[in-house]
């Protein structure tokens, strides 16, 4: 929000300055050119910020292992996520956030329809650090891969059982040692089908079981429409916490039972 407000103020100042600097102020053209200059300046400052983000990513060495949490970079990424949502005219309706105990780490589980899905909880829970487990393909993406690496986002290859277990154990360490929340999409990939939900991977739930933290189950809605309508048409999306499973309940259930409960909860919420 702070970055967006700064860009708005710079855009307004630039528009006003240029309007008074060029041409008389007594004509109708003066009042028309102010909003036009504001829009032009706003777009230019957004592009300049995007360029800054891209330039910083060039100095991130993705081959260098991340051995400690980069809290400043995580905050920078969260601010950038919020700016992207605001610039894209994406409005979030949040429900059930009060069900989350934000003083303790937790595992966030939700459905996955869009690349914007991690943005919603990251922005809504700003002030509570949350990192997401990603597919290896994200690591190879320009800009996004660099920031995911430096922020310590774990990468999981579900086709490699040994590597997947290593990532799960790493996520457990993050929850225990960093006291940082971890998010994962147990479907394993974006759901591009007409079905409300893809099958859930039970291994995702073993993270909470091993770490002894609660599982927060949430539903994203509307994010699949947001990217096609980005900037040109406002989009309403929602993020709703539908269930919180306590560590005591988790300990009494197997990962398969946890996956079945989560699937039933998500499907029910998506149908309402």
Tell me the pLDDT tens digit for each residue of 12-39. 999 888 777 766 656 656 667 788 889 9
Instruction: Provide the number of structural domains found in the chain.
Output: 2
Residue 26 is predicted with a pLDDT of: 61
Of 22-36, 110-124, 125-139, where does mean pLDDT reach its minimum?
A: 22-36
Is the residue at 32 inside a domain? yes
Q: Are residues 216 and 154 in the same domain?
A: yes
Count CB-CB contacts under 10 A for residue 30. Answer: 14
The secondary element (H helix, E strand) that includes residue 41 is: helix 28-58
Q: What value does the mean pLDDT take over residues 84-98? A: 94
Residue 30 is predicted with a pLDDT of: 60
Residue 29 is predicted with a pLDDT of: 60
Is the residue at 18 inside a domain? yes
Q: What value does the mean pLDDT take over residues 177-198? A: 90
C-alpha separations of 133 from 20, 166, 172, 237, 248 in Å: 51, 12, 12, 22, 24
Q: Are residues 146 and 240 in the same domain?
A: yes
> Residue 212 maps to which CATH number?
3.40.1130.10
Q: What value does the mean pLDDT take over residues 44-65? A: 94
The secondary element (H helix, E strand) that includes residue 244 is: strand 235-245
pTM attached to this predicted model: 0.90
Beta-sheet strands, E only, within 87-187: 90-95, 107-110, 130-132, 181-184
Is the residue at 65 inside a domain? no
Is the residue at 84 inside a domain? no
Q: Are residues 134 and 16 in the same domain?
A: no
Residue 32 is predicted with a pLDDT of: 74
Q: Are residues 164 and 266 in the same domain?
A: yes
Q: Residue 218, SS3?
A: strand
Of 60-64, 67-71, 234-238, where does mean pLDDT reach its minimum?
A: 67-71
Residue 185 is predicted with a pLDDT of: 95
Residue 132 is predicted with a pLDDT of: 95
Is the residue at 63 inside a domain? no
Is the residue at 114 inside a domain? yes
The residue count for the chain: 272
Mean residue pLDDT of the chain comes to 90
pLDDT in tens, 226-265: 878 777 778 899 999 999 999 999 999 999 999 999 999 9
Residue 179 structural domain: 89-271
Binning pLDDT at 50, 70 and 90, where does residue 66 land?
confident
d(CA 109, CA 1): 25
Q: What value does the mean pLDDT take over residues 104-123? A: 95
Residue showing tokens 């934000």: 102
């Amino acid at each position: 929000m702070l970055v967006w407000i700064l860009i708005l103020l710079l855009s307004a100042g630039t528009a006003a300055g240029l309007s008074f600097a060029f041409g008389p102020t007594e004509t109708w053209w003066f009042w028309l050119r102010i909003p036009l200059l504001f829009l032009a300046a706003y777009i230019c400052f957004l592009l300049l910020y995007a360029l800054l983000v891209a330039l910083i990513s060039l100095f991130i060495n993705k081959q260098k292992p991340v051995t400690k949490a980069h809290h400043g970079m995580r905050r920078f990424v969260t601010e950038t996520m919020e700016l992207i949502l605001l610039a894209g005219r994406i409005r979030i309706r949040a429900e059930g956030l009060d069900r989350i105990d934000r003083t303790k780490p937790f595992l966030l589980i939700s459905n996955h329809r869009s690349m914007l899905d991690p943005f919603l909880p990251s922005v809504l829970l700003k002030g509570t650090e949350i990192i997401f487990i990603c597919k290896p393909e994200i690591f190879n993406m320009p800009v996004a891969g660099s920031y995911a690496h430096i922020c310590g986002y774990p990468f999981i290859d579900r086709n490699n059982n040994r590597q997947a277990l290593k990532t799960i154990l790493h996520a457990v360490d993050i929850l225990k040692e960093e006291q940082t929340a971890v998010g994962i999409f147990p479907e394993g990939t974006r759901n591009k089908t007409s079905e409300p939900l893809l099958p859930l991977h039970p291994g995702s739930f073993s993270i909470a079981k091993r770490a002894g933290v609660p599982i927060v189950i949430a539903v994203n809605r509307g994010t699949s429409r947001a990217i096609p309508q980005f900037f040109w048409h406002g989009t309403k999306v929602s993020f709703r916490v539908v269930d919180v499973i306590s560590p005591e309940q988790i300990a009494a259930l197997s990962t398969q039972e946890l996956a079945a409960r989560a699937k039933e909860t998500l499907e029910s919420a998506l149908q309402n």
